Structure 1
Amino acid sequence: MAASLFQSALSLLFWLSLLASSDASAVAKGALTVRQARTAQKTGLPGSWQYQACITSEGNGRRVWKYQIISQTATATSCLTQCQSFGYQAAGIEYGNECWCGDAVDIAAAGSTTAAETDCGVACAGDNRYNCGGGNRLSWYLWTGTPLYVWNYPTGANAGRYELISGGVVIPLLTTSGVNGKYTFVEKFGTGAPNSTGAYELDVSQLANPSLAWREMHVKTDVFCSASVTLPDKAGRQINIGGWSGDSTFGIRLYWPDGSPGVPGVNDWQENVNVLKLQRGRWYPTAMVMTNGSILVVGGQTGSNGPPQPNLEILPRPSGAGVVYADWLERTDPNNLYPFLAILPSGGIFVGYYNEARILDPVTFNTIKTLPNMPGAVNNPGAGRTYPLEGSAMLLPQYAPFTGPLGILICGGSTIGAGIALDNCVSSQPEGDGAWTLERMPSQRVMPCMTALPDGTYMILNGAHQGAAGFGLATDPNRNAVLYDPSKPVNQRMSVMANTTIARMYHSEAILMQDGRVLVSGSDPEDGKNPQEYRVEVFVPPYLLAGRPRPSFTIANKNWDYGASIPITVQVNGGGATRVSMLGAESSTHGNTMGQRTLFPAVSCAGATCTITTPPNKNVCPPGWYQLFLLDGPTPSISTWVRIGGDPAALGNWPPYPDFKKPGL
């Protein structure tokens, strides 16, 4: 009875408010009430949608909001629910069947003005009891209560900063951190680029003398849009796979990093396509070191804009083994290039491609589990995350005792055709229910780069606000850096950091340096507006700008077994908790950071001696090379390269040809 009286009173108040507006059509149908709008809430956050006004849908030659959903069953509730699920705190309904999503600030930015309520008298297509705007008129609603997202806006040193470190010599298509403390750049050899030898190596300790900082290297075939990883052999050789056309698509190139910071190396890339080659020519493939130490190569196309290669192969090639067909790669071509790969703690292989993901058996490569599709744009579930729609992926940190599921984070991307860049990140725990959690980003971003930092956070930088990957296909460079902190609550993890003055668009890269900075390079948009970019920058995170001294450590054992106890001698300054992190050797290209992984092993200290308990097995921590950092609170040391898991595939003796230098076992 009490509930019935309350509902009657609420209804009376509603009708009186409509009568007071002298709006006959609103009396007949009405805008959605606060009580009804509350049913659109799906996040569990305290709050509700509240009707604001009838407004013009255009002003200053532009729409108020850019995201349009047309439905012949549209209701205000369905519109508000969809907008809310993608983090938009304002929404409007136009002409009965058009739902628009955005933010309240967009209204003034577009020069929209308030209109008469009678202008918003068109019935909702899905519920004619209520009004849903009119011709060029929006019935607009605002989310009130707990915000759907909170972005942080640090200032000064807390926002980090960009620094220019070199004029550069090439536009790298792929950058790799070397176990010799240097950074390899490979570029589109043979396609007319200046300084085109195919490869250079950067020694940042020699930046005061560019002739010493940049060592010219050479490849024999074109590495344009190839893949790279660091091998788990004792030399930490780098392997580069695939290329642009002809023989280069079959290319397998090896480099043994030598020298050290301040000490020039003499080794160069080695290649002989007549004796060592892929089974299938591949352009835009992905490579990954598996738990058995061999290299998995996935996907790509046969050559420049050619047919797909919907298959997988292994290096070194097992006796008699061919390629493994993958129907899911053929079905999603051409939007699945440079697929995202990762070893899961269960031993399965995660693969993300286009807007899909699945887990593969590591022996048969049959599908163990198909994950739900990744959310895309609020108005386009067909938006994608891999090249050419191109977002960027990272593995979220793993912490001792490593019993929890591994998380995958993918940020940015774009829609097919229109090239509307996405303004969200999605994350999942594939070994759990596989559901994707969506988080709104502060801006749209296609062709982003992401880099893991030693403190367990991530930098999102580079890319554009509109378009897709490729020459001349994107516009409006995104110069802002964003810090993503997964230790914070969902939808509160992003901080808007410093801006660069340099457009970093197609073919821009970012990798972690041993001193904790981010090496930012390249841009080759070929759009007639933004230049080809040779200059090299670093992004300096806030943990290096707070004035705290770095911790340091020494370590004798740099060749680890699983589940071992490793002593280190440390020097810390009492800035906070002592931690250690391990970050996998990485190669960055087209938003795909091959080899990236972040682990925080257990560490215990007694005075200046600490003991690290290494990760327990090859599924948690695949064999290979990792940068080991000591952290004193948020401040990282200079890293030291360590290897874990040995060389189980005996790559040190591969390939068995005299013109390849091999480190042995």
Structure 2
Amino acid sequence: MACPGRRNFLWFLSVVVLISSSTRAQPGRFDVIAQNAGVASMHTVVTHFSNAIFLDRTNIGPSQINLAAGGCRDNPDDRTLKHDCTAHSVMFDYFSGASRALSIYSDTWCSSGQFLPNGTLLQTGGDFDGFFKVRYMTPCPNGGTCDWQESKTEFLHSGRWYASNQLLPDGRVIVVGGRSAFSYEFIPDRGAGQFELPFLKETNDPTFNNLYPFLHLLPDNNLFVFANRDSILLNYFTNTVLRRYPTLPGEPRNYPSAGSSVMLPLDSANSFSNAEILVCGGSNKDAYAYPAGQLPASQTCGRMVATSGDPNWNILNMPTRRNMGDMVLLPTGQVLIINGAQSGSQGWGYASSPCLNPVIFDPVSSKFETQAASTIPRMYHSTANLLPDGRVLVAGSNTHEYYTFTGAFPTELRVEAFSPAYLDPANDWQRPKLVNYPGVINYGMPFSVDVSLPGNLTGDIELTLLSAPFTTHSFSQGQRQLKLAVSTPLRANGNTFTVKSSAPPSAVIAPPSFYMLFPLHNGIPGTATWVMVTY
């Protein structure tokens, strides 16, 4: 068996590699924006009030932030601390770095979630006393008093631990899978019940590898479902599998093997009809069963046009091996792959050799670019979410059963922001700024924005919409990007230009919710505004 000394040696080697390569001026920058958020975020969302919700789990003992006003949680079903005066969720102000304690009652361990059309966060499942729970959080501005509410009338049909959620065009959320839950259901239920999905049982193996299935709503209103190494196209109205896709070569990709997935941006240039799936990373098939071996992680990605008449996986190699990486769609249409490890798998203490350098994948060139490194390892239970200013919020990492601040890879309470190269001040001379814009856009209807430039117009002005996903366990549930059609910019006055566009044609293309609307000038994004996309 591998001993702790071997892991420490591997960690030492990774630091040496980092130091020796630090002179290469790799792009991007990490900044620590909070030294102690109070909780290690296992689940993260960014709200339309420009703050974030960090959510850990109960049954873990005390966190590092107390509940407000001397409040305590008395839960006889808590397996660790039945009288708990600490918080396990916070509202995080990513400008000031301040945290406000929120109150969670039942266990949210390895749960799932999604924003509803009105901006309320739906949160489902967990373990132990949270197995069947449905929770809500209606976000509010920093300084507000909003908090979690646990439903007393809604319950899941099956206990769902390690499930995935996806917002649908009609405003419902589909909840798929979970450990020993080979089915799916809807919130709100509307009397539908639950539906068996044999595909989830078929992709189960001795170490699972089909948990937190990757879900992507395609522009034909069918659901792409990926588990282990296989995928299907599901008509969720009729519970019919319409297509079985080719098996993705290589290692298992889902929990606990910890790959990640995005649907690449939908583009108005082809009427949003082309849906391409990207799956990256994963673990050796024996890594979870044999953690002492620290087996090498996957180095491959697969990309496939799921809407093609003859879909096949195109295999790409990442610069380094990676599992537990988070994939974040950037306003440029590129994909950031951040966090993770080069060996092992998900699980307490099951990974070593952290991936400190993110990479950015360009779907146009199919090339990867290695980014500047963090000094903070973020492996099991880490998250990454896009912010409206174009930074990426990076939080969490707890490879231990409880909060542990000694030894290798201690529980991580610091919060970072990663700034891609497009935020370099050298690009400020062409950075656009939205100065006039709608707060609501309606399906298929025209709208216009005014964009101010610091200097002359030197390239195209583009508009792109990005959703706010629920991020946990290396998958951002509900992540979606749309490149909108735009007119030729017309000078309104000075260096301010009017750009005309159209909202997405239907809720199938963009399920109703709040989205970040980013302006780009010559490929450089400005700060987004939140818009509600609705009927």
Q: Is 2:474 the counterpart of 1:606?
A: no
Report the Cα offset of residue 575 of structure 1: 4.7
Q: C-alpha offsets along residues 67-124 of structure 1, whole Å, 9 cap, x if unaligned?
A: xxxxxxxxxxxxxxxxxxxxxxxxxxxxxxxxxxxxxxxxxx9xxxxxxxxxxxxxxx
Single out whichever of 578-587 and 637-646 deviates more from structure 2: 637-646
Q: C-alpha offsets along residues 586-634 of structure 1, whole Å, 9 cap, x if unaligned?
A: 1110111012111110112211211121222222222222100011123
**What amino acid is aligned across from residue 524 of structure 2 in structure 1?**
T
Pick aligned residue for 2:307 from 431, 435, 440: 431
**What amino acid is aligned across from residue 409 of structure 2 in structure 1?**
N
Residue 531 of structure 1 aligns to a residue whose secondary structure is coil
**What amino acid is aligned across from residue 317 of structure 2 in structure 1?**
R
Q: Is 2:185 the counterpart of 1:313?
A: yes
Q: Is 2:194 the counterpart of 1:323?
A: yes
Q: C-alpha offsets along residues 23-61 of structure 1, whole Å, 9 cap, x if unaligned?
A: xxxxxxxxxxxxxxxxxxxxxxxxxxxxxxxxxxxxxxx
Q: Which residue of 2 aligns with 1:475?
A: 352
8 Å contact kept, 1:154–1:495:
no
8 Å contact kept, 2:437–2:450:
no
Q: Which residue of 2 aligns with 1:498?
A: 372
Report the Cα offset of residue 219 of structure 1: 1.1
**What amino acid is aligned across from residue 162 of structure 2 in structure 1?**
Y
Cα distance in 2, alignment partners of residues 215 and 603 from structure 1: 40
Residue 148 of structure 2 aligns to a residue whose secondary structure is coil
Structure (1 or 2) with the larger CA radius of gyration: 1
Q: Which residue of 2 aligns with 1:170?
A: 39
Residue 422 of structure 1 aligns to a residue whose secondary structure is coil
Cα distance in 1, alignment partners of residues 479 and 212 from structure 2: 14
8 Å contact kept, 2:63–2:88:
no
**What amino acid is aligned across from residue 385 of structure 1 in structure 2?**
R
Pick aligned residue for 1:560 from 437, 441, 464: 441
Q: Which residue of 2 aligns with 1:634?
A: 523
What pairs with 1:378-397 in structure 2 (closer than 5 Å)?
A: 383-397=251-265
8 Å contact kept, 2:267–2:274:
no
Cα distance in 2, alignment partners of residues 534 and 496 from structure 1: 25
Q: Which residue of 1 aligns with 2:137?
A: 255
What pairs with 1:577-616 in structure 2 (closer than 5 Å)?
A: 577-604=460-487, 605-607=489-491, 608-616=497-505
Single out whichever of 546-555 and 607-616 deviates more from structure 2: 546-555
Single out whichever of 467-476 and 399-408 deviates more from structure 2: 399-408
8 Å contact kept, 1:336–1:353:
yes
Q: Is 2:56 the counterpart of 1:187?
A: yes
Cα distance in 1, alignment partners of residues 209 and 375 from structure 2: 31
**What amino acid is aligned across from residue 599 of structure 1 in structure 2?**
L
Q: C-alpha offsets along residues 160-200 of structure 1, whole Å, 9 cap, x if unaligned?
A: 11111111221000000101110000011232142342210
Q: Which residue of 2 aligns with 1:379?
A: none
Pick aligned residue for 2:411 from 518, 532, 554: 532
Q: Which residue of 2 aligns with 1:656?
A: none
Pick aligned residue for 2:296 from 391, 410, 420: 420
Report the Cα offset of residue 331 of structure 1: 2.4
Report the Cα offset of residue 392 of structure 1: 0.8
Report the Cα offset of residue 243 of structure 1: 0.6
Q: Is 2:248 the counterpart of 1:369?
A: no
Report the Cα offset of residue 400 of structure 1: 1.1
Give me the TM-score of the superposition, normalised by structure 1: 0.68
The alignment covers a number of residue pairs equal to 466
**What amino acid is aligned across from residue 348 of structure 1 in structure 2?**
N
Q: Is 2:289 the counterpart of 1:410?
A: no
Residue 359 of structure 1 aligns to a residue whose secondary structure is strand
8 Å contact kept, 1:201–1:216:
yes
Taking structure 1 as reference, are residues 540 and 245 closer, same or farther at Cα in structure 2, changes over 3 Å only? same
8 Å contact kept, 2:215–2:225:
yes
Residue 603 of structure 1 aligns to a residue whose secondary structure is coil
Report the Cα offset of residue 472 of structure 1: 1.2
Cα distance in 1, alignment partners of residues 34 and 139 from structure 2: 22
8 Å contact kept, 1:198–1:222:
no
Cα distance in 1, alignment partners of residues 425 and 444 from structure 2: 35
Q: Which residue of 1 aligns with 2:75?
A: none
Q: C-alpha offsets along residues 313-361 of structure 1, whole Å, 9 cap, x if unaligned?
A: 0111122x22100111122222111111111111211011110001001
Q: C-alpha offsets along residues 469-512 of structure 1, whole Å, 9 cap, x if unaligned?
A: 11111111111110111121x3xx10011111111110011000
Taking structure 1 as reference, are residues 476 and 566 closer, same or farther at Cα in structure 2, changes over 3 Å only? same
Give me the TM-score of the superposition, normalised by structure 2: 0.84
Q: Is 2:213 the counterpart of 1:332?
A: no
Select the structure with the greater relative contact order (CA < 8 A; seq sep ≥ 6).
2
Cα distance in 1, alignment partners of residues 196 and 23 from structure 2: 49
Structure 2 residues without counterparts, runs of 5 or longer:
1-16, 65-85, 288-294, 402-406, 492-496
